[in-house]
């Protein structure tokens, strides 16, 4: 690669400043928001890929992608350009960048006192590198010892990424090591840099395979640095000021698209296993699951059909029903629906070479094309070779949607599970139709799963336009939160995975993927023993996605009742999930409406407390519930550090109050998940849910955890019919509250918005058992608020 060095000011536009570098390249600095800038290099004055699918600041992008040079959707504030002896400076009232000679950038932010402070800078020696006659780009920034790095989406190991090197190259990483395997399924080259004064986000909008080194590499000829290198494509990055980590995460979601608001039932327990659909009598096995849930009193809202329903012999053929295994799909689907369980079916974007429809699809030109021959590209897939569908071809999208409709939706299966969609096509020059402008796969591989899930979503929306769709996808890139719920893929069963999957989920959440979870109990390898299974379920019920899923080596099945001795503990954990479902649903609403993460590392709301920056097995669900999962065998006590806050914390189970800023030891018997609640919080809960049914959900309580002494706080509850889009017209309930405490009394004042009338007509406010102060609701001495 060749270093870019000499530059001159070439042009100033309304939204950018353009430099000409080394007499051939165009280097643009865009000012998109007061605290959001963008750097784009046009190699030899041209773009390698003139489109993007990740940037969506206002609305979804067109199918064919958003024009890469577009600034639509941003406020485009006025900026100041100053030329001086060191180079030039571009500034808004919050952020400024100085371009030095030879080419490197230094970034500053304006602090609360109005003073400019250093934020970030490129490496002064060789900051920008290009392969001027081929592919490849690189960017080097300074690295400072006081900085910590977070983000990168779904990555193994500790939440703090400092000192490590990562690769983005979507792989089907079956049975991965949750502490060390890299790369994994998703492509999100986004980092959060937390500094002593402020935090900033850095997102590289490039879909080719890439590497990010965050302090693993050193070089005697340069100051300490961090490195981004992409195999192909353009150097195009967005840098934005926090100043807090939470601010950075929320800004990234606003940049790449808001979280999709799915149905309430998607927050319930979802059953799944490879075993049932792989069995010769798959339909019987599946129907038994309904009865076993009733028999063991396990609440359940959905079931996910693994791909065995499509099999011929031992291989999987998307959109092919094996009627020997499942002779009556519609009858089976209706039985699940009658039991209150929705079905989602596994679908894959690659057709094996002996697929019954392969020749038909090939004849229509719907596959990605080989780079050298006018033939479908062939790649390894599920113990054979197959060809991947090209979702940049509108004819492919139509074929896919027609089959989703006829093979799933019309069979009574309302949701899609978009799986095995890493698109492991390693012929980088393989050709994609590109919506009429041919593109090599190396430029857009991670966008294929994004378009796949979008195709599935639109099919579901057309089939049931009055219902909010629900989709799942394993692979994808930045922006996938606009369409789907996701999970951490095919994990391996052991205690280490339980610990590090939690950190993996938090990493995804910091990177804009809020609606996440894991295969509870472990997907591959040995079955979990009884203790590990209980602890995994207790952890899983506190994630947005809660699914028990498995493909155990010994052909056993992870089911709530797999160990009779601990089934009561499993049942209680799942019932705790359903009791908290009104809280989860409010968090989902806030994630979609206000870009608030559902899963949160403890430091996200307590950055002032340096002790929360330490690696921990704890996490926050919303900002109010502190989850202290037990992740070690034999543990019956749990040490928990309570973040330093103004009001302290309550034990969810006992109601005991603790001061923040200290480590406490809680009892953790096998049947109990240690939970704490922030003082000042109020949790909406239900006692009547077996599965989500708005008509039957006629009970609601508000568990109020008041400040000791004086204090004030506020919160809200969101509710609606759980399935339709009526909330957009105000047909929902937004119940806001403000809490004020003195030494003698507790006041809570409710105000409501929206015209939705839920089945529950009143809200009972419940105080901790030890609380002796008098409760007043809207000025009246009572413990009940009537809607």
Encode pLDDT of 174-228 as tens digits: 999 999 999 999 999 999 999 999 999 999 999 999 999 999 999 999 999 999 9
Same domain, 695 and 651: no
For residues 485 and 418, the answer to whether their CB atoms sit within 8 Å is: no
- Choosing from 613, 648, 678, the residue where a domain stops is 678
Band (701; pLDDT cuts 50, 70, 90): very high
Q: 15 pLDDT exceeds 80? A: yes
Same domain, 630 and 658: yes
Q: Closest Cα partner for 236 from 428, 453, 32, 24? A: 32
Residue 776 lies in a domain: yes
Query: Per DSSP, which regions of 214-359 are E strands?
Result: 225-230, 236-241, 270-273, 302-305, 311-312, 315-316, 342-347, 350-352
Same domain, 689 and 742: yes
Gap between the Cα atoms of 522 and 489, Å rounded: 10
Number of domains in the chain: 2
Residue 386 lies in a domain: no
CB neighbour burial string for 34-63, b if at least 16 within 10 angstroms, e if fewer: bbbbbbbbbbeeebbbebbbbbbbeeebee
Residue 618 lies in a domain: yes
Same domain, 740 and 695: yes
- Choosing from 678, 696, 727, the residue where a domain stops is 678
Band (133; pLDDT cuts 50, 70, 90): confident
Q: Closest Cα partner for 271 from 305, 307, 311, 309? A: 305
Q: Closest Cα partner for 620 from 707, 514, 533, 692? A: 514
pLDDT computed for residue 449 by the predictor: 98
User: What range defines the domain where residue 641 resides?
Assistant: 601-678
Same domain, 695 and 745: yes
Residue 537 lies in a domain: no
Dump pLDDT digits (tens) for 72-86: 999 999 999 999 988
Gap between the Cα atoms of 621 and 563, Å rounded: 28
**Comparing 680 with 134, which gets the higher pLDDT?**
680
Same domain, 751 and 714: yes
Band (164; pLDDT cuts 50, 70, 90): very high
Chain-centroid distance of CA 732 in Å reads 25
What integer is the mean pLDDT of 587-596?
A: 98
Residue 696 lies in a domain: yes
Same domain, 704 and 755: yes
Same domain, 625 and 607: yes
Band (134; pLDDT cuts 50, 70, 90): confident
Residue 450 lies in a domain: no
Residue 16 lies in a domain: no
Dump pLDDT digits (tens) for 648-661: 999 999 999 999 99
- Choosing from 617, 647, 678, the residue where a domain stops is 678
pLDDT more than 70, % of the chain: 100
Same domain, 690 and 671: no
Same domain, 705 and 731: yes
Structure tokens at 518: 């894991």
Same domain, 694 and 781: yes
Same domain, 763 and 689: yes
Residue 637 lies in a domain: yes
Gap between the Cα atoms of 727 and 754, Å rounded: 8
CATH code for the domain in which residue 748 is found? 2.60.40.1180
| SS3 (DSSP) at 227 | strand
């Amino acid at each position: 690669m060749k270093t870019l060095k000499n530059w001159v000011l070439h042009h100033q536009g309304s939204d950018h400043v353009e430099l000409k570098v080394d007499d051939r390249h165009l280097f643009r600095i865009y000012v998109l928001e007061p605290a959001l800038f963008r750097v784009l290099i046009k190699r030899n004055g041209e773009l390698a890929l003139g489109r993007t699918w990740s940037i969506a600041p206002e609305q979804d992008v067109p199918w064919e992608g958003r024009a890469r040079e577009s600034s639509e959707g941003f406020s485009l504030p006025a900026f100041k350009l100053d030329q001086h002896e060191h180079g030039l400076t571009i500034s808004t009232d919050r952020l400024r960048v100085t371009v030095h000679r030879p080419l490197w950038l230094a970034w500053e932010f304006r602090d609360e006192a109005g003073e400019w402070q250093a934020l970030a800078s490129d490496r002064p020696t060789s900051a920008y590198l290009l392969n001027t006659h081929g592919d490849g780009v690189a960017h080097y920034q300074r690295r400072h010892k006081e900085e910590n790095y977070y983000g990168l989406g779904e990555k193994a190991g500790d939440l703090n990424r400092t000192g490590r090197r990562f690769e983005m190259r979507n792989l089907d990483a079956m049975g991965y090591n949750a502490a060390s395997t890299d790369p994994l399924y998703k492509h999100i080259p986004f980092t959060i840099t937390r500094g002593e004064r402020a935090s900033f986000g850095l997102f590289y909008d490039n879909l080719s395979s890439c590497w990010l080194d965050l302090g693993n590499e050193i070089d005697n000829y340069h100051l300490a640095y961090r490195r981004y290198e992409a195999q192909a494509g353009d150097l195009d990055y967005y840098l934005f000021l926090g100043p807090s980590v939470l601010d950075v995460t929320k800004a990234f979601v606003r940049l790449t698209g808001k979280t999709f608001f799915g149905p309430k039932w998607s927050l319930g327990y979802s059953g799944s296993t490879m075993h049932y659909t792989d069995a010769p009598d798959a339909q019987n096995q599946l129907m038994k699951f309904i009865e076993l849930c009733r028999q063991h009193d396990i609440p359940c809202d959905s079931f996910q059909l693994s791909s065995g329903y499509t099999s011929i012999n031992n291989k999987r053929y998307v959109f092919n029903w094996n009627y020997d295994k499942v002779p009556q799909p519609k009858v089976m689907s209706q039985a699940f629906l009658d039991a209150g369980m929705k079905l989602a079916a596994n679908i894959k974007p690659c057709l094996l070479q002996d697929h019954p429809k392969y020749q038909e699809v090939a004849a229509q030109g719907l596959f990605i094309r080989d780079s050298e021959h006018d033939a479908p590209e062939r790649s390894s897939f599920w113990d054979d070779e197959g060809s991947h569908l090209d979702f940049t071809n509108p004819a492919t999208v139509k074929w896919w949607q027609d089959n989703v409709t006829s093979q799933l939706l019309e069979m009574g299966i309302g949701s899609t599970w978009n799986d095995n969609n890493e698109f492991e096509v390693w012929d980088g020059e393989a050709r994609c139709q590109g919506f009429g402008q041919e593109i090599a796969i190396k430029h857009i591989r991670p966008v294929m799963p994004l378009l796949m899930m979008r195709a599935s979503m639109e099919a579901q929306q057309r089939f049931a336009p009055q219902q909010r769709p629900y989709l799942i996808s394993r692979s994808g890139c930045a922006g996938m939160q606009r369409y789907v719920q996701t999970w951490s893929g095919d994990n391996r069963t052991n205690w280490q995975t339980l610990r590090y999957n939690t950190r993996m989920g938090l990493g995804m959440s910091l990177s804009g993927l809020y609606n996440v979870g894991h295969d509870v109990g472990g997907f591959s390898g040995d079955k979990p023993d009884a203790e590990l299974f209980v602890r995994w379920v207790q952890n899983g019920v506190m994630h947005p996605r809660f699914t028990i899923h498995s493909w155990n080596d010994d052909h056993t099945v992870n089911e709530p009742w797999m160990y009779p001795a601990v089934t009561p503990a499993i049942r209680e954990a799942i019932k705790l999930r359903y009791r908290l479902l009104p809280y989860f649903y409010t968090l989902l609403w806030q994630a979609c409406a206000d870009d608030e993460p559902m899963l949160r590392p403890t430091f996200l709301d307590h950055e002032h407390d340096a002790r929360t920056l330490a690696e921990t097995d704890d996490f926050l669900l919303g900002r109010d519930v502190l989850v202290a999962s037990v992740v070690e065998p034999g543990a019956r006590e749990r040490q928990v550090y309570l973040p330093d806050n103004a009001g302290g914390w309550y034990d969810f189970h006992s109601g005991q109050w603790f001061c923040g800023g200290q480590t406490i030891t809680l009892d953790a018997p096998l049947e109990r998940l240690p939970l704490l609640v922030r003082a000042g919080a109020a949790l909406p809960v239900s006692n009547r849910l077996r599965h989500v049914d708005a008509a039957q959900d006629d009970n609601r309580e508000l568990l109020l955890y008041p400040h000791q002494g004086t204090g004030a706080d506020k919160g809200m509850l969101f509710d609606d019919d759980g399935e339709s889009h009526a909330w957009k017209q105000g047909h929902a309930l937004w119940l806001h509250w403000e809490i004020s405490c003195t030494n003698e009394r507790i006041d809570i004042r409710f105000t409501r918005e929206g015209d939705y009338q839920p089945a529950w007509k009143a809200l009972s406010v419940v105080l901790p058992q030890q609380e002796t102060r008098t409760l007043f609701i809207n000025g009246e001495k009572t413990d009940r608020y009537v809607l």
